Amino acid sequence: MVKIGILNLQGAVSEHYDMTKNAVKNLGLNIDVESVRYSEDVKTCDGIIISGGESTVIGKLIQKRGIDTVIKEKNIPVFGTCAGMVLLGKKTDLDQPLIGLMDITVKRNTYGRQKDSFEAPIKIFGQNYSGVFIRAPAIESYDKTKDNIEVLAEYDGEIIAIKQEHNIAISFHPELTDDTLIHEYFIKEVLNKN
Ligand code: GLN
């Protein structure tokens, strides 16, 4: 059975778990959703979701546990939100361990500190969506020579959602809404790859 793993190292993990379960249900599919902590568990997944949280901490654990190596070796699609977006990048404004699957440079804390958190209407996949931004990053730049990169959403002049092959990085927190649109999109990407 196809399995989506929610990387459970630090951050908003249980919210993503619930959202993914709901997305699977809404799609009427028979897909397993599991919380994963070690590379042995990640190895058995067809897609991985990396939540928001503290990207430096999550990145160090990913590297220490060899999770980045497994993801790359098995070419597992990753959906990263907020800190997850940071980790998908090749570069950030700080020196930190990254998975680096996407040809993007990420600017951490583009939208300021926790006290500057906000919710704003955005548009993604041609639909209205509520963007919850918490110490959110944005894309500073991406490799425009790559034809497999697609900008999915912008807000206030910043790129806040981007896709490269089957990997998706978004600045905001869909797991804090009850709209499964983006989770459903990722699940379909995973199925397309298989
Ligand atoms: N700014 C945090 C970081 O770069 C991400 C914040 C979040 O995930 N809510 O790790």
pLDDT in tens, 52-86: 999 999 999 999 999 999 999 999 999 999 999 99
| Residue with CA closest to ligand 1 atom 6 | 135
Residues labelled as active-site residues? 82, 173, 175
Model confidence band, residue 114 (pLDDT cutoffs 50, 70, 90): confident
Half-sphere exposure of 172 (CA within 13 A, CB side): 27
Look up residue 52 and give its DSSP letter.
S
Record the pTM: 0.97
Q: Does residue 115 surpass a pLDDT of 90?
A: no
Beta strand 118-124 with 127-133: parallel, antiparallel or unpaired? antiparallel
181: left (phi over 0), alpha (psi -120 to 50) or beta: alpha
Helix (H, G, I), strand (E, B) or coil at 186: helix
Which atom of ligand 1 is the closest one to the Cα of 173?
Answer: 9
Contact indicator for 88, 169 with CB cutoff of 8 Å = yes
- Overall average pLDDT of the 117-135 stretch: 96
- Tell me the C-alpha distance between 79 and 190, whole Å: 10
Which atom of ligand 1 is the closest one to the Cα of 53?
Answer: 8
- Overall average pLDDT of the 145-161 stretch: 97
Q: How far is the CA of 151 from the centre of ligand 1 (A)?
A: 20
- Overall average pLDDT of the 109-117 stretch: 89
Which atom of ligand 1 is the closest one to the Cα of 84?
Answer: 8
- Tell me the C-alpha distance between 135 and 79, whole Å: 18
Q: How far is the CA of 41 from the centre of ligand 1 (A)?
A: 24
Q: How far is the CA of 83 from the centre of ligand 1 (A)?
A: 4
Q: Which of 98, 109, 116 to mutate to test the pocket of ligand 1 (most atoms within 8 A of CB)?
A: 109
Contact indicator for 171, 136 with CB cutoff of 8 Å = yes
Q: Which residues line ligand 1 (CB under 6 A)?
A: 52-55, 82-83, 86, 108-109, 134-135, 137
